[in-house]
Structure 1
Amino acid sequence: MYQMISKQFEDGILMITINRPEKMNALNQQVLKELALVIDEVYSDRNIKGAIITGAGEKAFVAGADISEFLTLSEQGGRELAKLGQTIFQRIESCPKPFVAAVNGFALGGGCELAMACHFRVASENAKFGQPEVNLGLVPGYGGTQRLTQLIGKGKAMELMMTGDMINAADALAWGLVNHVFPAAELLPKTLAILQKIKSKAPLAVAGVIKCVNACVDKQLNGYEVELDEFAACFGTKDMEEGTAAFIQKRLPNFTGK
């Protein structure tokens, strides 16, 4: 089923690796279609509690889109490609299970956009981020103009996208683009540890947090109303009963996602 993505599943966490190291893991249409399939797996498989997206090799997370595919596209073809990418990345962002990007090396163009679609990002010390589409006479098309602005602010996002410059991991951390920076050898173990911690929490509450935070930047939603609904819904769950009982009894909770 998968030719350009590899998967590894262990203890509730699915590791998704973009596996085109000879092309710096560039996103072509086949990779996008395979990403769509594996995202569907995360949604539908109850055994999967969270997912990590990373890139094969040491040089790149995803170094961008596969530019060779752009040469034959018309304006309509460009629109359809961007729509495909936006739809897939929106599925990641809206997933009720946590997606974390483990960024090893270059995350440029579509790669930066993929990382930003995840719920948060962890980077290795050699990571580089950027939206260099202006160098090709393009703008970001997979949601990058919106998510980068949300994450680092209008001024920094404008400069980064209009100059096409890259920033290193230290700047990405300072600007709020990533949550943590680790040595390359520690990137995946540290990312797994964070997800394992999240996995120990109430799944429905984690899903509620994702929904509420996403509502903060959705102009069609009232985030406070979404929070009210999610907070109230928690009182109808077994997990809330278990969590509060465990707190009172001074023991660890056993959440079941019900």
Structure 2
Amino acid sequence: MKLLLFADLHLDTRFPNAGPARRQALRDTLGRIVDLAQDSNVDAVLCAGDLYEHDRCSPSTASFLQSSFDCPVPVFLAPGNDDWYGPQSVYQQVDWTPNVHVFSSENMTPVELADGVTLWGAAHVGPGPARDFLDGFAVNRSGVNLALCHGSAPDDVAITGLDHAFLGHEHTPEHAVRYTFPGNPDPLTAGETGERGAVLCTVHDDGTVSREVFDVSASRSLGLLAESSEAFPLLDFDSVAAERTVRGQFVRDVLADLSLDTGLRGRVLATGLRALEER
């Protein structure tokens, strides 16, 4: 069984340099994740929380998510502490297509992915710190048992009887024997480390998991990141576009050109700004 895991996308983010260009890049990253899922013929897409930020959610986010997940692939969403499940949440506002399953209980509940394969999931149901959903939980069925949730402590996985847990909240990726933190798929702050992205997880018959990481970051392709000797600091293209300068007009023109796809737009921005700096 193949599952595509991601977490902590933080649409409508509060993180630095979160102007229109960055927010659009995060949406483009989700589009890349869904495209990758279909191209890879996965059995399901898993999101381990903080898909968006409840307190900063724009009116268009709900319709964007609905259309993004309207695809042939099953999608399982486990709300986190920033996108918690509740009456005013996007999760309840959207009339999801049948392929989308939103975990809505703070208790681990099972969904059968295939014969002999169970996915257990839970949701944050209000604001607050991330919690440990695996504390006190124990598997009560046979076969391969997997978990999807946001913020659980890795030390709990082995004693629950779970074969593997797919987790969110930690932005630094970690691939352990019994759990996976994919990290945020698109950079949110400067100085992030680790191989982050969407993680293609192959679940074997014995419950072990092998993984392959795919870089799906639209910010990198768009040129919103510039490599330095220490990190990948975020470039605020929205501020540059606001400048009443030649380079400001250049950035505005490139961002407004709908004929450019994400990759080409990034190359044009990088090449053009470099040329302007060298003049």
TM range (shorter): 0.3 to 0.5
- TM-score when scaled to structure 2? 0.30
Larger relative contact order (CA 8 Å, sep ≥ 6)? 2
- TM-score when scaled to structure 1? 0.33
